[in-house]
Amino acid sequence: MVRAVYARGLGFGDLTMSHGLIARHVDDPLSAAVLIATDGRVDRAALGIAVKDFPGVAVLDHDQAGEVQAEVQQSNAEVNYLAMGLVLAFTAIAVVNTLAMSTADRSREFALLRLVSTTRRQVLRMLRLEALTVVLVGAVLGTAIALATLTAFSLGMTGAAAPRLDPAGYALIVALAAALALLATALPARLALRVRPSEAIG
């Protein structure tokens, strides 16, 4: 029997069903926690005695339960940060490799620019502007996609289209992306420009 319906459960299901009904359909029917409301006549010591024969079961008050939940959430957050860091690292490696290879493949283009009186400084400045343009376009598109996704999620979960944005973290990510793009472009370009234009076209 359905006991309640959540309009926005903030992570809970839309339906709440009895434990007995759910237990028959899951691999592990044990509950992680049980909330007990007392009328004041039962104290924690009596509850502790009642569950002492069950390993891993402890009686906690409201504050202690909150601390345990906070520790679990912190552990989960650390795992998520580690996974996200690995994803960002692999993404950065892929982007740097792509930029470096595409820049190195343009050695003939750089040689032609040099032959029409373009200086090395001008070529490097052109590449810096290209890299910053790519970073700007990527930041705008990535921000728009993230805001659309997070706004829809926030609207569905809380009823308010107000996703949280950390300006310092956002600026750090954009600055790191710009630094990687400039580094991955400048180093291969400097190596390509060391070759004489006639030999590069050769």
Report the predicted TM-score, pTM, of the whole model to 2 decimal places: 0.66
Give 75-121 pLDDT, tens digit per residue: 888 999 999 999 989 988 998 999 899 988 888 898 999 888 889 99
Q: How far is the first Cα of the chain from the last one, in angstroms, to the nearest whole number?
A: 82
Most confidently predicted of 2-16, 22-36, 162-176 = 162-176
Mean pLDDT calculated for residue range 123-151: 93
Average pLDDT taken over every residue of the chain: 84
Cα separation, 188 vs 115, whole angstroms = 19
Residue 96, C-beta contacts closer than 8 angstroms, at least 6 positions apart: 180, 183, 184
* Residue 175 pLDDT: 93
Coil, strand or helix: which one is 116?
coil
CA distance 189 to 119: 13
What is the total residue count of the chain? 202
**Rounded mean pLDDT of 59-76?**
82
Residue 12: pLDDT band (50, 70, 90) is low
**pLDDT at residue 1, rounded to an integer:** 63
| Contacting residues for 137 by C-beta, under 8 A, at least 6 apart | none
Predicted confidence (pLDDT) at residue 2 exceeds the cutoff of 90: no
Q: pLDDT class for 132, splitting at 50, 70, 90? A: very high
Counting runs of H as helices and runs of E as strands, what totals does the chain give?
7, 2
Q: How far apart are CA 190 and CA 104, in angstroms?
A: 9
> pLDDT tens, 183-202?
999 999 998 888 888 787 76
Question: Angle of helix 107-115 relative to helix 120-158, nearest 10 degrees?
Answer: 130
Average pLDDT on 28-37 reads 77
As a whole-number percent, the residues of the chain with pLDDT over 90 amount to: 32
Q: Does residue 140 carry a pLDDT above 90?
A: yes
**Residues whose CB is less than 8 angstroms from the CB of residue 101 and which lie 6 or more positions away in sequence, other chains included:** 188
